[in-house]
Structures are given as structure tokens and as C-alpha cells.
Amino acid sequence: MKSFFRQPFDDVIQCLEMLVTVKRPGLLMIGLLFVGGLTWFVYVPIHELLHAAGCVVTGGEIWELEIQAHYFGGFLHEIFPWVTTGGDYAGRLTGWDWKGSDFIYLSTDIAPFLLTIFIGVPLIKVCGRRKRPILFAVAVVLGLAPFYNIQGDYFEMGSIVTTRIVTEVSGASSLVFPNLRSDDVFRTIEQFFTKPAELGIRSLRGFIAAMVMSTVSLVLSLLLAFLTYWIGHLWSRLIVRGGSSKKGAA
């Protein structure tokens, strides 16, 4: 368990230790910022398109995916008519049907993070072990994606699991607190105090139950993020060879 939680920190620290030993750190930083920014602008639309792919491949249906214009939303609309520009987020799947299947729902959420497992984490390993500093910018965007999505996609995954378990345990005929399934934990917290009825909360008891469920969902989102990285770590052990690794890392 110690290695499970330490692994991403150990890997990033190893990369940082390598970065501070370069001869021209200033020039490297400029390169990292440029490559990191470019990677981010390419990654965002790919991330959103993979959400759509995860939904369709597992049997769901989509009819609207919002992607901001500066993330190539307009260009992608010419290729995929169901892509629209606008919205409050960089990208968001706003029109889709998960057919009442949690498998489709979870597949839709997790699909973009296959990039983390199969490409991102291995890149972090290569960056640290084989001294490829310029890869660090790309590796951070892809490899650490689960951690900067804890409040978003991973919170939604946690809430899917939590609401399903509570529904099954309680024996309810329909999903308990379905509106707690959200890809924005901050918006959900705001709704607790400003629009509780939209979350299905109609009593103090319901408020407490929903708050506990959301807290558990947030904890689960953190655990799922570490689990994603760990799977990427195990995959990396199969494909990344050479260089040194941190002593004690599994």
C-alpha cells in the first residue's frame, strides 16, 4: 500500500532530479513550457473525443459534445457534426444516453485515461530513467491526468459506484440520488446549499445522507486515480527497460 500511494510521487521526483542536472535549465524550461502548452491543447479535444468513443463502443449513444473553439471545437465540428462549440467547460459530453447501464457510464468516464495507462505513465518512467527531459512536459499532461481530474471525471466515477451500492443495499426500486452523479464536485457542493432540490434532497436526513455519499465518492475518486496510475506503473514494467529506478519502488 505504501508503494501504491508513493509511486507517482517517486516517479515525478526522479524526473525533477534529472531536470535540475541539465546544463541549460533556462532553455529547457522554455522548451518544457512550449511543449507542455502544445500537448495540453492537443490533449483536451482528444480527451473529450475518447469520452464519446467510450460511450459508443460500449453501446451508448451521443448527440452533443461541447468543445471550446480554442480547443479546435470548430474544426472538429466539420468532422463530427455532433461536436459543438461553447459551454462553461473546456469540453464536456452534454448530450448522450448511457442506456441505464453503469458499465457504459463508467466506460465513458474512464476511456480517456487509457492514455495515462498505456502512454502517460510509461513516458514518465522513460523521462526519469533514460534522461529524456523534454518528454517531461508531455508525460505530466498524460501521466498525471487522473490527479487533476479527481474533482471531475474521477468524482463522477466515484459517485457512480457509491450511488449504485447504496441503491442495491437499500433495495430501492430506482437509483438513489441519481443527481449526485456529477463530473464537477465544486458545482455539486454549491448545489447542496443553493439548490438542494435539484439533487433530490428534501429533508435534513436526506441532506446528511447525500453529503456522506458525496464525501465517500470523493474518497473513491482519489483511490481510483491512484489505481489508474498503479495500473500504468505495472504496464510500464513490461515495456520500459533500461536506466535506473528509485530504490524501494515496486
pLDDT tens, N- to C-terminus, the chain (250 residues): 778 999 999 999 988 887 777 677 777 788 888 999 999 999 999 999 999 999 999 999 999 999 999 999 999 999 999 999 988 888 999 999 999 999 999 999 999 999 999 999 999 999 877 667 778 899 999 999 999 999 999 999 999 999 999 999 998 888 999 999 999 999 999 999 999 999 989 899 999 999 999 999 999 999 999 999 999 999 999 988 754 444 433 3
The answer for residues whose C-beta is within 8 angstroms of residue 51's C-beta and 6 or more apart is 65, 93, 108, 109, 111, 112
Backbone phi, then psi, for 134, in 5-degree steps?
Answer: -70, -20
Contact 90, 72 (CB under 8 A): no
Contact 80, 65 (CB under 8 A): yes
Taking CA atoms, 94 is separated from 47, 228, 234, in Å, by: 14, 25, 34
Helical ranges in the chain per DSSP H: 2-19, 25-57, 73-79, 102-110, 114-115, 121-129, 135-143, 153-170, 185-194, 204-239
Task: Report pTM.
Answer: 0.90
Provide the pLDDT for residue 3: 87
Provide the pLDDT for residue 149: 96
